[in-house]
Amino acid sequence: MLLERSGVMALADYLSEELIRMDLASRERDGVIRGLLDSLVACKALPARLLEPAVAAILDRERLGSTAIGRGVAVPHARLEELDEVLVAFGYSRAGVEFSALDSQPVHEVFLVIAPKGRADEYLDLMERITRLVQNDDFRRFVSHAKGRRDVMELIKEMDR
């Protein structure tokens, strides 16, 4: 899968419908992380040989502190030397996922990010976009009522500006 990328990237530039999972099957953090990475592999965004290193890197990062950042949102992430570009996948869980959040609340929206080493500005831009988006109560409410991936993709295009 090739994404059109130039200049400042919007969140929608990193995503496609295939990289959005509605009603995540797992209620466990590790299962959700693996499921979202599987989506990236299925889309050929992430080479299959990097799946296990990516799982390990993300779980290693979680060991340093949960990436549940409040309001039912988590941003599991890691950097991998071998990657060429920043990759994002989104998952929604109606039931909620146990993410060892500091506020002890289950996580419903998960933005998984893996990035090459360096690229600090792009990475910070992306995190800024994600956190601004999820601060919008309308976004989280609309996601919970979305009928499918297409709705979420449209929502992100519309609200991440």
Partner 1 sequence: MEEHSVEVTIKNPMGFHVRPVQRFADLARLFKADVEVHMRNRTVPGKSVINLVSLGGRCGDSMVITARGEDARQCVDVLHFLADSSFFVEDSMDTASQPNRHVERLARMASCFESEIQIVLNGKAADAKAVEAVSGLGLKPTSVPRFRVRGTDEEQARAVLENLVESCFYVEDEMGRRPRKGK
SS3 40: helix
Nearer to partner 1, 20 or 109 (CB): 109
Active-site annotation holds for 108 = no
Q: How far is the CB of 66 from partner 1 (least distance, A)?
A: 8
Cα of 130 vs its chain's centroid, Å: 9
Among 56, 81, 102, 150, binds partner 1 (CB under 8 A): 102
Among 34, 53, 85, 123, binds partner 1 (CB under 8 A): 123
Contact (Cβ atoms closer than 8 angstroms) between residue 88 and residue 10 = no
Q: Is 8 in the site for partner 1 (CB under 8 A)?
A: no
d(CA 33, CA 59): 9
Q: Is 100 in the site for partner 1 (CB under 8 A)?
A: yes
Residue 149 CA to residue 85 CA, distance in Å, equals 23
Residue 86: what are its φ and ψ, rounded to 5°?
A: -80, 135
69-88 residues near partner 1, rule: CB under 8 A: 69-71, 73, 75, 77
Q: Which of 21, 29, 77, 129 is catalytic?
A: 77
Tokens of 82: 């071998």
- Rounded CA-CA distance 155/143 in Å is 8
Residues that bind partner 1 (CB under 8 A): 61-65, 67, 69-71, 73, 75, 77, 100, 102, 120-121, 123-125, 127-128, 130-132, 134-135
Catalytic residue annotation: 77
